[in-house]
Structure 1
Amino acid sequence: MPIALEIISPEKLLLARDVDMVVVPGTEGDIGVLPGHSKLVTSLRGGLVDIYEKGALTDRFFVSGGFAEITESRVAVLADEIVRQADLDPAKAAAALEAAKAAYDAVDPANGDAYREASDKLIAAQGMVDAIAPGKAEAA
């Protein structure tokens, strides 16, 4: 029995198909979702959404953040930004990480909203660097 998966970016519905399992990068840790999962809404950190079909990993997408709505028969990933792992640019990821580190270092921790925003951007940028396949980063 498959589970329906929808991946939605701010621009469009990117993917809609039945899959065997989905792993999403929740803010509290990765969440593996199979048919019959308990209902849950969770925020996402920067990381990979892994899609499994017929016992094999078939697709990987990097999300910079967002939410996942999980029911017994459906997973909806509502992503702030989403990119196929194979399309990640190592130079762009490294530049984003450097910019995020500089912004984080410059923010006043007493300004709670700015501090959280800088922290979220740093986590997403590090997640993007970490998501680049081994060997791809060295080739850049």
Structure 2
Amino acid sequence: MAFNLQIIAVDRVFFEGEVGKIILKGTEGELAVLPHHTPLTTTLAEGEIKIFLEDKTKKSASLMGGFVKIGKDKTVILTEAAEWPGEIDVDRALAAKERAEKMLKDSNANQARAMAALRRALVRLDLTEK
């Protein structure tokens, strides 16, 4: 049994296909979606999405927040950015992490923006280490 998953990032349709299950990070915690899930719309946090295909193959990607609309037969995710592990530039993510950490030490910096940048960098780095 499967359902259709569509992940739309700002710059592209990131993924579209039939899946058996997904696990992703909502702002209220982790969420698993299976076929015939109760309809739900909620916000997403920065984090990893685990996509389980019908043949039990697992794919992982990063999602940079957004929204998910879960229907009985189709789930649509709208996100600022989505990346497969091979698309992530580790050096760039490390540099972003260092910049964010410096901003957090600066009392004149926008702390919320620095924390968001740090979360995005950590999600990317965590995904490349798996």
User: Taking structure 1 as the reference length, what is the TM-score of the superposition?
Assistant: 0.79
Partner of 2:70: 70
2:3 equivalent to 1:3: yes
User: Which residue, out of 101, 112, 117, partners 2:113?
Assistant: 117
Could you list the per-position Cα deviations for residues 75-132 of structure 1 after superposition, in whole angstroms to 9, with x for gaps in the alignment? 11111111112222221111111122222333569xxxx4433322222221111111
C-alpha distance in structure 2 between counterparts of 1:117 and 1:68, whole Å: 23
| C-alpha spacing 1:28/1:18, structure 2 compared with 1 (3 Å) | same
Runs of 4+ in 1 over 4 A off after TM superposition: none
C-alpha distance in structure 1 between counterparts of 2:107 and 2:60, whole Å: 33
What is the Cα-based RMSD across aligned positions, in Å?
A: 2.1
C-alpha distance in structure 2 between counterparts of 1:115 and 1:57, whole Å: 39
List gaps (5 residues or longer) in structure 2. none
Q: How many residue pairs align between the two structures? A: 130
Structure 1 position 4, deviation (Å):
0.9
| 3-state SS of 1:37 partner | coil
- Where do residues 92-103 of structure 1 align in structure 2 (5 Å cutoff)? 92-103=92-103
User: Which residue, out of 104, 127, 136, partners 2:123?
Assistant: 127
- The worse-fitting range, judged by mean Cα deviation, of 34-43 and 50-59 is 50-59
C-alpha distance in structure 1 between counterparts of 2:67 and 2:121, whole Å: 17
C-alpha distance in structure 1 between counterparts of 2:61 and 2:107, whole Å: 30
Percent identity of paired positions between Structure 1 and Structure 2: 25
| 3-state SS of 1:64 partner | strand
User: Taking structure 2 as the reference length, what is the TM-score of the superposition?
Assistant: 0.84
- Tell me, yes or no, if the aligned pair for 2:7 and 2:16 is still in contact at 8 Å: yes
- The structure carrying a bigger strand percent of its residues is 2
- Tell me, yes or no, if the aligned pair for 1:4 and 1:16 is still in contact at 8 Å: yes
List gaps (5 residues or longer) in structure 1. 135-140
- Where do residues 28-107 of structure 1 align in structure 2 (5 Å cutoff)? 28-54=28-54, 56-106=56-106
